[in-house]
Amino acid sequence: MLKTAFIGLGVMGYPMAGHLARRGYSVTVYNRTRGKADRWIIEHEGRAADTPREAATGADVVFVCVGNDNDVRNVIYGEDGALAGLKPGAVLVDHTTTSADLAVELNQACGASLSHFIDAPVSGGQAGAENGCLTVMCGGTESVFKRVQPVIETYAYQAQLMGESGQGQRCKMVNQICIAGILQGLSEALMLAEKANLPVAKIVATLQHGAAGSWQMVNRLETMAKGEFDFGFAIDWMRKDLSICIEEASFHNMSLPLVEAVDRRYQLLQEQGLGRMDTSALVKALQEGTHNINRISSVKG
């Protein structure tokens, strides 16, 4: 059985590493806050390391799932970084959503140390991680991907190689753009439905099997109507992801007007201290914007 390491035990990494342990893999975990790693080893078979380097030492596959580009660099590089512990032939798999440039950079760094790299951002949120049904979009060489695919599939419903290094991250950008558009549409649809006194539960039951159906509709429209926004993926993280999308689009000399509009609305919510709310809270920004427009129109009238 392969030896694995998992670096980053956040809301995603914690259950993902747990799936590896339950499947019988040898797992060494590292987390910046040691208490979370200690709790993990109480619940699962495995051991905790004091540094990313220690976690990676001797591992066949090292998984990383942290916050952003800088967080990844902090656990990969340096004397205590995972790269210093990677043995020749080992595979570093980064599940963090990052820029494609970082994926290319890490692939080159691993190649220089005779190891391998796969960029592998995930979609499915905390529930997907806990239930082992994530979607994983990968970039790298086919031979290396095939080596790690069975391991990734311990917590993934779908793991697909999208192309060379960086293409997994670019696919995740496409994913986030789609989510932004769906949430914008659902928010506007909900506002109209409420004005028209349509029952939201019946809307979901009726539309979910048609062309308008989506995961977001099934899982978020009713909670949006109830004003419940404490689920899964936070606005803070979505803004980080959308900024990556906008930067990639700029590189290709194109604009993303919908993404830019949604990002501005999320910024307004952040400024109100609501950055930890679920991304479905987008409807709040639209509702407040409509309220302000109506108020201004009333004053002018």
Q: Which residues are catalytic?
A: 172
Candidates 172, 149, 138, 127; CA nearest to 15 is: 127
Name residue 88's beta-bridge partners.
none
Candidates 27, 18, 28, 65; CA nearest to 50 is: 28
On whether the CB atoms of residues 234 and 279 are closer than 8 A, the answer is yes
Q: How far, in Å, CA of 99 to CA of 241, rounded?
A: 9
Q: If you write DSSP's letter for every residue of 130-153 in order, what string do you get?
A: HHT-EEEEEES-HHHHHHHHHHHT
On whether the CB atoms of residues 45 and 77 are closer than 8 A, the answer is no
Q: How far, in Å, CA of 184 to CA of 150, rounded?
A: 36
**At residue 39, what is the residue type?**
R
Q: If you write DSSP's letter for every residue of 99-125 in order, what string do you get?
A: -HHHHHHHHHHHHHTT-EEEE--EESH
